[in-house]
Amino acid sequence: RCSVDNRVTRVAWLNRSSILYAGNDKWCLDPRVVLLANTKTQYSIQIQDVDVYDEGPYTCSVQTDNHPKTSRVHLIVQVSPKITEISSDISINEGGNVSLTCIATGRPDPTITWRHISPKAVGFISEDEYLEITGITREQSGEYECSASNDVAAPVVQRVKVTVNYPPYISDAKSTGVPVGQKGILLCEASAVPSANFQWYKDDKRLAEGQKGLKVENKAFFSRLTFFNVSEQDYGNYTCVASNQLGNTNASMILYEETTTALTPWKGPGAVHDGNNGAWRRGGSAWLLALPLAQLARHF
């Protein structure tokens, strides 16, 4: 907008040295530039669909009876941030080095930050286009978020997934006691990336899937060995082996016979356990009473 008064005889708008409008006459070929007002108080133009190339100085030139006057305004074009380049998802072995890149454009230049999407992560881990991780650990796996912000619009974010490979680690393998004839289970839990493959051995003999009376159930993070009807021959030492392409580990556990010892409850005087049928019966009460009476008779 350019404010004028009744002393003005001629008006024009210029972009740098190029004339856009002189009075009501359009001199530029750009259809986005239009004349909004040419009155006794205002001479205004409008630039539609502004582009970064429109940035720069604009001059309103007016001619009065005395001498020409100019008024200059500088157009600053702001652009929302946009991430134009970001690293692809990556898979790396534990202990390796990782370099992530996030390039963004915008006006003014956006601020770029990196953060680890993890419950244990606190705050930003980088305030730069580049994120360097040396000697990466399994705890540092997961998604990393790049954020580009310049306050023109809401920040834009993109994520990169970092997969850290490591050899298996058996976290739980316990011996189990089971009575003969009952169902027994041995469980082997292991964490690994890629997921571990499991194998079971009794002593030095590998147990095969579908073996009579047994079932081996393998999942991503555990293996379950089930005995449907435990016999004496099933008791012994078992070894769980977890492996992937980075290594293997094993853990031993014992399937042992569990015996239950029944506690004899106190039934009071005269309670006698019948070894034939296992039942308690009351008896001998008269004998218990006669004994002290006989002792008293002898005394007197």
Segments making up each domain of the chain, as ranges? 2-75, 80-166, 175-257
Query: What is the phi/psi pair of residue 115, to 5°?
Result: -145, 150
Given a contact cutoff of 8 angstroms between Cβ atoms, the answer to whether 222 and 235 are in contact is no
Structure tokens given for 154? 């809401």
- Looking at residue 204, what is its pLDDT? 85
Task: Tell me the range of 68-72, 115-119, 203-207, 236-240 where mean pLDDT is highest.
Answer: 236-240
Residue, of 151 and 300, whose pLDDT is higher: 151
Q: Is the pTM of this model over 0.75?
A: no
The answer to whether the 2-75 and 175-257 domains have the same CATH topology is yes
Closest by CA to 226, choosing from 190, 178, 259, is 178
Plot region of 181 (φ>0 → left; ψ -120 to 50 → alpha; else → beta): left
Confidence of residue 277 (pLDDT cuts 50, 70, 90): very low
Look at residue 120 in the predicted model and tell me its pLDDT.
76
What is the assigned CATH class of domain 2-75?
Answer: mainly beta
Instruction: Write out pLDDT tens, residues 131-163.
Output: 999 999 999 999 999 999 998 999 999 999 999
Distance CA 278, CA 282 (A): 13
What pLDDT is stored for residue 260 in this prediction? 61
Residue range 50-63: average pLDDT? 93
- Per-residue DSSP letters for 186-206? EEEEEEEESPPEEEEEETTEE
More confident: 232 or 292: 232
Instruction: Please give the mean pLDDT across all residues of the chain.
Output: 85
CATH number at 175-257: 2.60.40.10
Q: What is the mean pLDDT of residues 168-192?
A: 94
CATH number of 80-166: 2.60.40.10
